[in-house]
């Protein structure tokens, strides 16, 4: 075979019309098997997870002012005064993200069993604890009733 230059348009003229090679020893590979050879793979273990984690959004925790803190404390005292009735509350609270700065705000509705001022937790009737320092708002019918009666 002559040594032809790469930009020569006639460089494959000697083999272009030869019949397609078919092995006598191996079966023809299906198109799906051929495609699987070239399917994407995770060459760097954990890289795609790291990219997803980097793109995951978190929120910055909002700092409550003195007025909002006093309002929250007043609402907690009202709930505490009705604790024997296990009042239904809806809270908005902040959950710190374990992997990166910030976190997310969640809401939960439950009946309150106890307020532990020493541990600074609000305890539901199914024994879930909510840190008072991360509660952003508290709503309840008993709070509204007390506030409307004043």
pLDDT score recorded for residue 32 = 84
pLDDT score recorded for residue 133 = 93
pLDDT score recorded for residue 43 = 66
* Contact between 132 and 76 (Cβ < 8 Å): yes
Token digits of residue 80: 């505490």
Q: Which domains, ranges and CATH numbers included, belong to the chain?
A: 66-149 (2.30.30.100)
Tokens 């809401």 belong to which residue?
107
State the CB neighbour count (10 A cutoff) for residue 36.
10
Report how far Cα 22 is from the mean position of its chain's Cα atoms: 52
8-state DSSP, 26: S
The predicted model scores a pTM of: 0.62
List, for the chain, all residue ranges whose pLDDT scores fall below the cut of 50. Answer: 1
pLDDT score recorded for residue 41 = 63
pLDDT score recorded for residue 4 = 54
């Amino acid at each position: 075979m002559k040594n032809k230059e790469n930009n020569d348009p006639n460089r494959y003229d000697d083999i272009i019309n030869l019949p397609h090679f078919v092995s006598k020893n191996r079966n023809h590979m299906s198109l799906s098997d051929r495609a699987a050879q070239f399917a994407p793979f995770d060459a760097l273990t954990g890289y795609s997870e790291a990219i997803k984690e980097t793109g995951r959004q978190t929120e910055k925790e909002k700092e409550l002012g003195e007025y909002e803190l006093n309002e929250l404390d007043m609402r907690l005292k009202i709930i505490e005064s009705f604790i024997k009735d296990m009042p239904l509350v809806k809270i908005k609270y902040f959950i710190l993200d374990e992997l990166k700065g910030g976190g997310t705000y969640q809401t939960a509705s439950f009946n309150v069993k106890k307020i532990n001022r020493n541990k600074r937790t609000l305890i539901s009737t199914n024994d879930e604890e909510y840190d008072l320092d991360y509660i952003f708002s508290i709503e309840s019918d008993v709070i509204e009733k007390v506030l409307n009666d004043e």
